Structure 1
């Protein structure tokens, strides 16, 4: 009997605390019977992992993060690739790309593809990249060398910061692509010679991992928090990077009336963390803010349940980078937590302004501050929006819908597996 077919899922790094949506997808695909191998371009940097990472059974193949660190491995990959009929095509593709983007990263991607082409198990029948930029480049070169089909999932930065020529060429070669917002879908369909190759697929949420709390989160409290006595507990989960807009959020918090009682908790790592802490100190907010860094999922869940309001001030930055549809908003809504966010990208696809949450314009510090004050002072409004948001996310954003779509995409492999099982019966 032939070996059971595998799918190689190519990721930039694994495991990552900030990419729970990918871990969730991997786990669900395994639960549906797919056999996976995870290919990571980088080694993990997070100290902790989520519980779901321990449940994923797929082996992980780590490629050389820097080619000079494992030269023999790269050379073995090159010598092996030279014997393959697809090597010439991959070399021409890479050389064409290198001339348009002469960089060390482009060289590294081809070296990683050479290693992957040699070390990929013969049972792999499909390559699948998460993110259309770097992981998809390694995937594409390897697929050409090994004459394998490949596909991709695109998200946010990878779409909006990549050169148009590269998007067009990748879209012309891959079998299919899924992406997580309508704006992404329309943009990529407009660049594809065959728009049917691009489909909208929401990541969704696994509600078994985010079980809902009691209807009344504050039933043990004598009086709802309204910013007068006990502090209203604000929370945000996200990396401290420019596109998250935390500098604007801090300015909006500083603009609140000084007598208003609130406390803000931030969860997440990121390169701007120290800069934001310094900004908070300059604004006189340090005593009102906890910076917790990156936390495992169970601890994040507990923080959601102890909070009164979730805030995310995402923005589109100069190079085009932006959020897609942040999973943290779905996570917060699943815990009956009222959400305040900006109206960019796919966020309005989840949050209907004044119906399932509040939305403000990006970088509108005054508007954000006004919305914060309104929600801090009005616990009844928070509860009303939180309940509507909970119904919205549970009705329309279950992870199983997206997994159903992916299983259709991989149906040729599941059909092959079924045929093998029938033949062996």
Structure 2
């Protein structure tokens, strides 16, 4: 039996956490969280209130949204004694052998409880916890203690793994496991001519406004091209103002934050996927964006930046085109080249789908995580269909 900890289970962008719950150990999983919202979709035993809500929970909701990373900076390194006792008892009742803690900042909370219950501890790094928090001396010190006590540290990319090695994580405790997707959900696109797509939160590290700028530079050369953006966030107002300024309101469509099913539908019609990820001013970086893998699974060529783990998925010149961060002109020319040569774009898209099938499916992720966590091999391969495990 394994336990998976996440503060929340209903954050729209954290599909990877819900996928870990669904596919890592179906029928042999229990959940630990701060708030149980969204946990009922899994029908697993749940221990909530761990850790107790931080002061952020009492702030106005708009302030909390602006301070999205605030919970990652949670000041306590360990649980209170009463919380720890509850966790240990929960582990014992359910015969838990190993716990997977989402985000490094939360991993240190479980070290003592795991030692008391003789449970293996694995902490899963993602993006901001590996790139923003290590800039603070307090968190570098805490991470080194986590590295010493954890049985394994899991990262979504080799790039993130190298960053953790630099602050003291032993090589032999690191396991690289990119998030996977269900290829059955993302069949090859119909590739509607001139249709470009951006998917992701409107935050600095994803920089949707820079993708809009790239499109604006080539829009007059391709009058039938249009740009769809799915997502929301603090950069929405800036992005909309840019579209108005460039007189592109009839060709750039903002769809807001939408469901996974809506994104799947958009990818079924798009011709090119673009994402201009950059390193934010506070050091925040991507891990390996799941939306890029979903686009590749949809046989879309990807135009993106050489940022964090993206080059580990997108092969420049084969499955898409990579440019340097903030190089809007090169991104614009990459888009223009693929719009002018749809056959080349289609070839890249097909190669990208094959790369996902070979390396980035849920089955690959499940097997990598099971190996990293020393879980028993499954007797039969899992059958994935419509998000369910049979």
TM-score category by the smaller chain? 0.7 to 0.9
Which residue matches 1:41?
34
Is the CA contact 2:2–2:25 (under 8 Å) kept in the aligned structure 1?
A: no
**Which of 157, 174, 186 is equivalent to 2:162?**
186
Q: Provide the rounded CA distance (Å) in 1 between the counterparts of 2:84 and 2:330.
A: 50
Deviates most, 137-146 or 153-162: 137-146
1:388 aligns with 2:336: no
Which residue matches 1:25?
20
Which residue matches 1:404?
367
1:360 aligns with 2:320: no
**Which of 8, 22, 29 is equivalent to 2:3?**
8
**TM-superposition CA deviations, 1:259-286 (whole Å, max 9, x none):** 5222111112323223322332233222
Is the CA contact 1:177–1:199 (under 8 Å) kept in the aligned structure 2?
A: yes
Give the TM-score of the pair, scaled to structure 2.
0.81
**TM-superposition CA deviations, 1:31-51 (whole Å, max 9, x none):** 3x5x2222223465xxxx8xx
Equivalent position SS for 1:8: strand
Which residue matches 2:130?
159
Q: Provide the rounded CA distance (Å) in 2 between the counterparts of 1:157 and 1:10.
A: 18
Which residue matches 1:105?
74
Q: Provide the rounded CA distance (Å) in 2 between the counterparts of 1:151 and 1:320.
A: 25
**TM-superposition CA deviations, 1:355-400 (whole Å, max 9, x none):** 1111111111111111122222221121111111111111222221
How far is the alpha carbon of 1:145 from its aligned partner? 6.5
Where in structure 2 are the equivalents of 1:6-405 lying within 5 Å?
6-31=1-26, 33=27, 35-42=28-35, 44=37, 56-63=42-49, 66=53, 105-107=74-76, 110=78, 114-115=82-83, 117-118=85-86, 121=90, 122=92, 123=94, 124-133=96-105, 135-140=106-111, 142-143=113-114, 148-163=119-134, 164-192=140-168, 194-210=170-186, 212-213=187-188, 217=190, 225=193, 232-261=194-223, 262-405=225-368
How far is the alpha carbon of 1:241 from its aligned partner? 0.5
Is the CA contact 2:34–2:52 (under 8 Å) kept in the aligned structure 1?
A: yes
Equivalent position SS for 2:303: strand
How far is the alpha carbon of 1:202 from its aligned partner? 2.0
How far is the alpha carbon of 1:129 from its aligned partner? 0.6
Q: Provide the rounded CA distance (Å) in 2 between the counterparts of 1:341 and 1:126.
A: 37
Which residue matches 1:88?
none
How far is the alpha carbon of 1:65 from its aligned partner? 5.7
Give the TM-score of the pair, scaled to structure 1.
0.75
Q: Provide the rounded CA distance (Å) in 2 between the counterparts of 1:335 and 1:356.
A: 12
Is the CA contact 1:128–1:139 (under 8 Å) kept in the aligned structure 2?
A: no
Shift of the 257–150 alpha-carbon distance from structure 1 to 2, 3 Å rule, reads closer
Is the CA contact 1:113–1:138 (under 8 Å) kept in the aligned structure 2?
A: no
Look at both structures and tell me which one has the larger radius of gyration over its CA atoms.
1
Q: Provide the rounded CA distance (Å) in 2 between the counterparts of 1:112 and 1:207.
A: 43
**TM-superposition CA deviations, 1:31-84 (whole Å, max 9, x none):** 3x5x2222223465xxxx8xxx886332343326635799xxxxxxxxxxxxxx
Equivalent position SS for 2:3: strand
How far is the alpha carbon of 1:174 from its aligned partner? 0.6
Which residue matches 1:89?
none
Which residue matches 2:67?
none
Equivalent position SS for 2:148: helix
How far is the alpha carbon of 1:110 from its aligned partner? 4.7
Is the CA contact 1:237–1:266 (under 8 Å) kept in the aligned structure 2?
A: yes
Q: Provide the rounded CA distance (Å) in 1 between the counterparts of 2:291 and 2:316.
A: 18
How far is the alpha carbon of 1:254 from its aligned partner? 2.0
Is the CA contact 2:9–2:17 (under 8 Å) kept in the aligned structure 1?
A: no
Shift of the 270–113 alpha-carbon distance from structure 1 to 2, 3 Å rule, reads farther
Is the CA contact 1:234–1:308 (under 8 Å) kept in the aligned structure 2?
A: yes
Q: Provide the rounded CA distance (Å) in 2 between the counterparts of 1:29 and 1:257.
A: 44
Is the CA contact 2:99–2:121 (under 8 Å) kept in the aligned structure 1?
A: yes
How far is the alpha carbon of 1:354 from its aligned partner? 1.1
